[in-house]
Structures are given as structure tokens and as C-alpha cells.
Amino acid sequence: MRRLWCLLALLPALVLGKPDLSQRIGPTLADTGSAYYRFEHFDLDSADGKRHYRVHLGIPKREAPPRGYPALYLLDGNAVLAALREEWLADVDQHGPPLLVMIGYASDLRFDSDARTYDFTPSPHPDVPLFEDDQRRRSAGGAEQFRALIESRIKPEVARLLPVDRERQGLWGHSYGGAFVLDTLFNTPRSFQRYVAVSPSLWWQSGLLLEVEKRLPGDADARLAILRGSEEARPRAASEMPSARAKAMAAVPAEAAREMAERLGGYPHLRVVYREFSGLGHGPMLSAAILPALRLFIEE
């Protein structure tokens, strides 16, 4: 694993901060071209017609292995596509490059705040309407439905378009997306073989995932990386957050992610790594965690 983290030196310097949810995608490698990957996309809607997805495919130019491409599914696909760098793709090209399935939304923005809030967050009672907090009032708690959409519609469409190795699939997510990654591992651990939870929002619903964790069966067999910025442990002023969020955050220990990794590391068939990125806060972790995830994904 040491080689994995040494590659962080390739990343540009990053600063503390939150993601700019109003930032547009702008030109990407899909527009300028890559020597190692080609890009396509397809669109689909949620079952209720309220959310509109754009799935960007980063397809290796190398011929697929006999069993098909390994596939890495990345949430916040618009933001991931905008962050991709040619030097990262050049690196993985030498080691059996994965197919990149970047699940985003049909928008020119990097983030669709309303849609991702609903899709990525689990609910303690899936049949009861849930909102993000008292101020934003965004609908939340749709993780179970979103997981069903990935399994029943997105995965089959990807497999129809390209040869995929179903025994080498990974799921990556940041923030609420990181919470979704863990929720998927705990509820349906066989959906993927590799999981990368970046800066997971363990405070959601005052630590709901700490309870959902108990659903993970003892024979779960997967690789998991929990990645976090060292500056994320700094408490934010309560005035910067809705009161409900401040209360939820206060209910979860600052070291909850590390402690979770330690507990999960005790499972006999789970291979778990926990890593803090020195000097980074919550927002910059999205870009910082892409290359390590690619490297983790291709290493056996």
C-alpha cells in the first residue's frame, strides 16, 4: 500500500474549503481528448421522473481483458469528470486500466445539490418523508431507491455497451456520496468488491450509519478505503450550519471514521485501509481522492 500513497505527490497543491456547489463543469478531458481513454455518456431518469442522470463513461483505449474491464463507479460524476487529469489516466493505463462509470446529473453544474442529497442519504424509515434539515428542506433519504437504480438500470446498460468484469467492480463517493458507499457496503456488500468512502458524512441523522454498520455480515468479503482530510476534524462554528446539522455533528465523535475503520478491520475477509490527507479539508478531498482510488482499484 505504500506505493499507493506515494502517488499523492503527483497531485497539485490543494487548499482548505467546501465544494463550490454553483461551479460549472467547464472543459474536461471528454472535450479536449485523452491519449488513454475515450468518453461517452448516456442519460436516464429516476422512476418518479424527478431526477435526471447523465452517466459519463471513461473507456480505456486498451483492449478489454478476456473477463471484461474492471469497472469503477464514481458518484458526483460531473465533478469527477471535471477533476480528471491526463497524468492520472496515464498512470493507470500501465496497470490494467478500469472502466470509469461517472454517475452525475443532466446539468452543466458539477453538483446537483437537491438530487444528490436525496440519492446519497440513507433513511432510518424509508417509507417516511425525510428532509436534509430544517432550513434547506431538501428531500433526503433516497439511498435505497438510488441503489436499486444503479443495480437494475445503470449496471445493465453499462454491461450492454461494454464488456465488464462483474467480479471486479468498485464504488467511490465523497461526503454524502461517502455515506452512500458505506451504506451500500453494510446493506448489500456483494454489490461491489471494492469500496472507497471519501470524507463520509457519518454525522448524517446523528450517526445513523454507526447503527447500519451492524448489518454487515461477518463473512463480508471486500476491500474498503476510508479517506479523510486531516483538517476535517476541526469543528465549525455552529453559526455556519443549520441548527439540526450542528446537533447531528455534535452527536458523532470527531474520530468516528478512524474508529469505524478499526472496527471493520476486525472482519476476517474485509481488507480495510484508513488514510488522513495532511492539510486538506472536506471540499478538496474530492479531487485528492480520485488518483488514490484508481490506484487502490487496480492493485491486487
Q: Which residues are catalytic?
A: 175, 232, 282
Residue (of 41, 205, 230) closest to 131 by Cα position: 205
Calpha distance 44→149 (Å, rounded): 10
For 39, other C-beta atoms within 10 Å of its C-beta total 18
Report the SS3 class of residue 224.
strand
Calpha distance 174→19 (Å, rounded): 11
Calpha distance 3→210 (Å, rounded): 31
- Residue 6 exposed, middle or buried by CB count within 10 Å (0-12, 13-18, 19+): exposed
Sign, Cα dihedral of 275, 281, 282, 286: negative
Locate 32 and state its grid cell: 479536449
For 154, other C-beta atoms within 10 Å of its C-beta total 18
Calpha distance 6→209 (Å, rounded): 31
Instruction: Assess contact for 71 and 98: CB atoms under 8 A.
Output: yes
